Structures are given as C-alpha cells and as structure tokens.
Structure 1
Amino acid sequence: MSITGISHLTFVVHDLDRTARLLVEGLGAREVYDSGDRPHSLSREKFFVLGGVWIATMEGEPPAERSYRHVAFQVAAGDLPDYRARLERIGVDIRPPRPRIEGEGESLYFHDFDNHLFELHTGTLASRLAAYASVLHARIRAPSAL
C-alpha cells in the first residue's frame, strides 16, 4: 500500500468563470468539466488540467484572509516574463519575490481573486537542496526520488 501521487487540488472560489479565465488565459490550463446547473458535489464546479494536475474549483466561500500557504507550479525561467504579462492583463495581485539564495530558482507569486496564493517556480527540489548545501554548508539528506 502506498500513495502514488496527488489526485487533485480543490479551490473554493466566489466566481467560477473569473477563476476559469485565470486558469485558462493566465496559466494555460484546459477546462475539462463544468457542472452548470447540475452539480454532483457540494456546489457548482469546474475542472481543469494544468501541467498534468487535475484542478477542481468549487463555488463557495473562499479563505477570508491571505497567507503564505500556496501551490507552486514548475515553469521554465524564460517563461516567467510571459506569465507575468498574462497575469497582469487579467488583474491578479502579483506579489514581490521573497529573498533567495543563488541557485534555488526564481519565482513569481500572485494572489487570485479569492485570497489563494500561487507560485510559478523555476527551480526543483534537487536544485534547492544543492543551493542550501553550498551556501549553508548544511547536511542535507537527498530524497531517493530525485
């Protein structure tokens, strides 16, 4: 018995269509389901596929406050400027980057319209561990799945 991966991510949002625009136009997701007026779950919902990940959005009351809790999607470094421009056109709140050490990758952080924080990140776990080990001289145990 073992976990084989992430099944899906679910975000509760005020406006399914506005979130669909963010996911499709802003991030390049593909919409694969819309419950319309016949929900089969707790509320109306839409499903998307983004980077091979199933993303479910459900109509409801999103988080009342923002936090650093987030989902990060891996992207190529050369694609960050294009994503920034697409997200700015949609009107999401792009956040300043956090301090970084060389080698851990670049990130573009943004809040959607419902207080969810997303990150587009250019690094990998392996590159982050290597950067930390070289700068901090830390003993880091590399996961076997790298």
Structure 2
Amino acid sequence: MLSGLNHITLSVSHLDTSLTFYTKQLGFKGHVKWDDGAYLSLGDIWLCLSLGRPCEKTDYTHIALTVEESAYATFVEKIRAAGVSEWKQNKSEGHSLYLLDPDDHKLEIHVGTLANRLESLKRKPYAGLVWL
C-alpha cells in the first residue's frame, strides 16, 4: 500500500540556473550536486533536478508548495522583484502565486490546506462536484 509522496524529479536544461532558483528564490535546501543532477529538499519534499530536455507544458499540471499566510506578501514581493514569470492569476480559495521555474515548470505557492479547500467547496461547489 502506498504511504505518501516519495520525491519529485524535474528535467532541467541548465542545472546551475535551476539549482540557484530553487535554493535562492524558493528556499529549498541543497544536499548534493553531480554532473547531471542535484538533490534538494523542502520540509519532507525531496526534489531531484535532472539535466535533460524539458518538454513544453500547456495544461494545468503543476506542483504546489505551502507558504504561511503571514509570509505570503513578503514572498510574493521577493519573487516579483526577482522578475520570476507568472503563468496564471489565482481564482480559487486561499492566496496563490502561480510562477514558472527557469525551464517553465509550473509551480504554485499556496496558503491553505486541503481542509480549507474542502470547506470552501461546501459554500461554492465546482460544476459537477460529487463528495466521495
């Protein structure tokens, strides 16, 4: 039986650029780096950057990372001051900043939890929503 998320691997075109982005802009902790990759972590999330050729993404697939509400405005200001590209404006419950990493991987910086989202769906359900 599965017990949780193990790790996320992202293909990156320039290892050093991506390593700097994830450590300096997003605050991941770097652990090791080698010719074709690096391992980082953020809380319990283990991230592998793997040198390769990322492919264009045109769907809503993304990785969401948590930020505390008290730190959200400062974080957004820092990201925008660094000129990081945004790919979407938030239209759902909770504060979210949708940004792109150097290889256009879609990330979301989100304030809130699954419990918050489910509670908001009681007040404003999505079209076709069915509770499981």
TM-score bracket relative to the smaller structure: 0.7 to 0.9
Match of 1:123 among 112, 119, 123: 112
1:91 to 73, 83, 94: 83
Whether the 8 Å contact between 1:63 and 1:115 is mirrored in structure 2 is no
Bigger radius of gyration among the two: 1
How far apart, CA to CA, are the structure 2 residues paired with 1:24 and 1:89? 16
- Give, in angstroms, the shift of residue 3 of structure 1: 0.8
Partner residue of 1:22? 21
For 1:119-145, what per-residue CA distance to the aligned partner results, in whole angstroms no more than 9, with x for missing partners? 01111111111111123396634xxxx
TM-score by length of 2: 0.87
After TM superposition, list the pairs within 5 Å mapping 1:1-146 onto structure 2.
Answer: 2-36=1-35, 44-100=36-92, 104-136=93-125, 140-141=131-132
Show the counterpart of 1:40: none
Q: What TM-score, normalized by structure 1, do the two folds share?
A: 0.79
Q: Runs of 5+ in structure 1 lacking a partner? A: 37-43, 142-146
Aligned residues: 130
What root-mean-square deviation, in Å, do the aligned CA atoms of Structure 1 and Structure 2 show? Answer: 1.9
- Deviation track 1:2-58 (CA, whole Å, cap 9, x = no partner) reads 11111110000111111111111111111001113xxxxxxx000101122100001
Residues 22 and 87 in structure 1, CA contact (< 8 A), matched pair in contact too: no
* Contiguous gaps of at least 5 residues in structure 2: none
